[in-house]
Amino acid sequence: MYLSRFLSIHALWVTVSSVMQPYPLVWGHYDVCKTQIYTEEGKVWDYMACQPESTDMTKYLKVKLDPPDITCGDPPETFCAMGNPYMCNNECDASTPELAHPPELMFDFEGRHPSTFWQSATWKEYPKPLQVNITLSWSKTIELTDNIVITFESGRPDQMILEKSLDYGRTWQPYQYYATDCLDAFHMDPKSVKDLSQHTVLEIICTEEYSTGYMTNSKIIHFEIKDRFAFFAGPWLRNMASLYGQLDTTKKLRDFFTVTDLRIRLLRPAVGEIFVDELHLARYFYAISDIKVHGRCKCNLHATVCVYDNSKLTCECEHNTTGPDCGKCKKNYQGRPWSPGSYLPIPKGTANTCIPSISSIGNLPKFNRIWPNISSLEVSNPKQANVCDNELLHCQNGGTCHNNVRCLCPAAYTGILCEKLRCEEAGSCGSDSGQGAPPPGSPALLLLAALLGTASPLLF
C-alpha cells in the first residue's frame, strides 16, 4: 500500500514539474572542455566540445542613441501620463536625478516602484517623424539563447524594426518588423512565429501581435528565439540533440541566432487612434523600462569561460586555439587547418583540437607543467618539442604516448596523434579491400619522420 502511494506521489510530482518548467533551466551540455580519463598508460586528457553558459548579456553592452540628443530633459519638458494621456503634468529634467530618464535606465535592476525608464523627447516637432535608433553593441560575437524582450513604459510603438549586425555595425539586416498595420507600414502581410515551420524558420516577418498601441496592460515586445528553437527541439525543447544537430550542420541557421550588435529602430510612437492629436503632442513619446538579451559568447565550441576585462569580452580558449572567438590555432599548433568544435556526436561532441605543426620543431612549447628529464630519454636534441604527452598533446582514438616522442596507434589509425583513419590515406574506407597503409612518401609519414627526428633510436 505504501509503495503504491509513493509511486502515485512520485508520478504526480513528475507531472507537476514538467508543467512548471516548460523549458529546461539549462538547455545543453558542453560545459567541460576536457576531462581526465584512465588508460593503461595512466591518466590522459579526453577533449570535447565546450561552450560558455548562457547569461544576461545586457551587463556587457554599450548603448548608443541616434539622434544623440533625443533623450528628454534637456531642456526640461512636461509629458502626459501613460494611464491618462490627457494628464500632462509629468516632468522630465535631465539636471534633476529624480526627474531624469537617461539610457542606462533601460538596463538597471527592475522591481522598484515606480519603475525606472529611459524616455525620449515628446513629438513636439510633429509632423516631422519622431524616430530613434537604439544600438546595442558587444564588440564580440554572441549567440542568442532566449527571447529578446523589450518592456515599454509608454505605449508600444505603432511601427518598429529590430535589426542585427554580424560585422560590428558595418552592415545591418532586419530581424523582425512590428506594426499596427504591416501592410500599410512595410508592405508585408502580417504573420506570427506560429505561422513558420522548420523550412521557413529563417523568414523575416512582420507581426502585429505586439503593436496594440496605447494600452496600460500591453507593454512588452518579444523576438521569439525559443519558439524558433522549438521547431527542431520540440515544444518543450526536450529534444536538444535535434537542435544541436541542425545548428552544427546548417550555417545559415547558426548565423541567424548570432549577432555582434542589435538595433531597435523606433519609427512611430503609439498613437492609439487614426489621427495624431496635434493639440496634445506631449502624449506621444517612447519610453523603455527594460531590455533583456540572453546569450553566450561565441567561442566556436573551444571554451567554457568568457571574461569581461577592460570593457571587452574575450573567450578563454582551450584546445590549443586562440583569438577573441577561438577562431584560429595557436602558434606551433597548425598541424592541420583550424576547425570549430562540433556538437556531434551527442552528448560530448568533437573538440577538433589544433595539433602541433612541423614548424614547431626546435621550439619548446611553454606549458605549465613539469618537463621530464631530457637526458633520461637519450634524445640528442634537448630543444626538440614533445610530440605527445598525457596532459595537452594526448594521443587520440586509443593511441598511447611513448616517451613523449610518438603515439603508438591502433592498427586502424595513423597520424601524429592517431587522429586519422589509416584507410582514409589509402582511399579505401568503405571498400572491401580492408584497411590500407599510407603510401610511401605520404605527407603523414614525412611529417611523422620529421617530428621523430633524432628520437628514432628509442623506437621499437
- Residue 350 per-residue DSSP state: B
Helix H or strand E segment including 448: helix 443-452
Locate 345 and state its grid cell.
556526436
The whole-angstrom separation of Cα 266 and Cα 260 is: 20
Q: Which of 96-110, 214-228, 382-396 has the highest mean pLDDT?
A: 96-110
pLDDT at 451 over 70: no
Could you give the 3-state DSSP secondary structure of residue 281? helix
pLDDT at 69 over 90: yes
| Among 180, 151, 179, 144, residue whose Cα is nearest residue 262 | 144
Among 29-33, 351-355, 366-370, where is mean pLDDT lowest?
366-370
Cell numbers 545586457 correspond to what residue?
58
Among 6-10, 67-71, 269-273, 420-424, where is mean pLDDT lowest?
6-10
Query: Strand 173-179 and strand 206-207: pairing?
Result: parallel
pLDDT of residue 212: 66
Helix H or strand E segment including 445: helix 443-452
Q: Which of 16-30, 204-218, 285-299, 376-390 has the highest mean pLDDT?
A: 285-299
CA 199 to chain centre: 22
Partners of residue 280 on adjacent β-strands: none
The whole-angstrom separation of Cα 94 and Cα 73 is: 4
| Among 298, 284, 165, 150, residue whose Cα is nearest residue 224 | 150
Q: How many CA atoms within 13 Å lie on the side-chain side of 264?
A: 25
Locate 284 and state its grid cell.
506621444
pLDDT at 440 over 50: no
Q: How large is the average pLDDT for residues 101-130?
A: 87
116-164 residue pLDDT tens: 999 999 999 999 999 999 999 999 999 999 999 999 998 899 999 999 9
Locate 31 and state its grid cell.
560545459
Question: Phi, psi (5° rounding) for residue 356?
Answer: -60, 145
pLDDT at 112 over 90: no
Q: Does domain 55-297 have CATH number 2.60.120.380?
A: no
The whole-angstrom separation of Cα 290 and Cα 222 is: 12
Q: How confident is the model at residue 107 (pLDDT cuts 50, 70, 90)?
A: very high
| Among 161, 189, 177, 181, residue whose Cα is nearest residue 274 | 181
Q: Where in the chain is the domain with CATH 2.60.120.260?
A: 55-297
CA 71 to chain centre: 31
pLDDT of residue 43: 86
Q: How many CA atoms within 13 Å lie on the side-chain side of 220?
A: 8
The whole-angstrom separation of Cα 143 and Cα 256 is: 9
Q: At what angle do helices 240-249 and 226-233 cross, to 10 degrees?
A: 100
Could you give the 3-state DSSP secondary structure of residue 404? coil
Partners of residue 231 on adjacent β-strands: none
| Among 82, 19, 349, residue whose Cα is nearest residue 216 | 82
| Among 164, 202, 159, 150, residue whose Cα is nearest residue 183 | 159
pLDDT: is 18 or 327 the higher one?
327
pLDDT of residue 374: 29
- Do 62 and 259 meet the contact criterion of CB atoms below 8 Å apart? no
Q: How confident is the model at residue 367 (pLDDT cuts 50, 70, 90)?
A: very low
The whole-angstrom separation of Cα 263 and Cα 346 is: 35
Q: How large is the average pLDDT for residues 243-257?
A: 92
Q: How confident is the model at residue 113 (pLDDT cuts 50, 70, 90)?
A: low
Instruction: Count the neighbouring beta carbons within 10 Å of the beta carbon of residue 388.
Output: 27
Q: How many CA atoms within 13 Å lie on the side-chain side of 238?
A: 6
Strand positions, DSSP E, 2-117: 34-39, 42-47, 55-56, 62-66, 77-79, 90-92
Q: How confident is the model at residue 110 (pLDDT cuts 50, 70, 90)?
A: low
Q: Which residues of 274-284 are buried (b: 16+ CB within 10 A; e: fewer)?
A: eebeeeebbbb
Locate 402 and state its grid cell.
611513448
Q: How confident is the model at residue 85 (pLDDT cuts 50, 70, 90)?
A: low
Name residues whose C-beta falls within 8 Å of residue 223's C-beta, 6 or more positions apart in sequence: 147, 148, 162, 175, 176
The whole-angstrom separation of Cα 231 and Cα 229 is: 5
Q: How large is the average pLDDT for residues 371-400?
A: 51
- Do 202 and 252 meet the contact criterion of CB atoms below 8 Å apart? yes
Cell numbers 513629438 correspond to what residue?
123
pLDDT at 29 over 80: no
The whole-angstrom separation of Cα 285 and Cα 288 is: 10
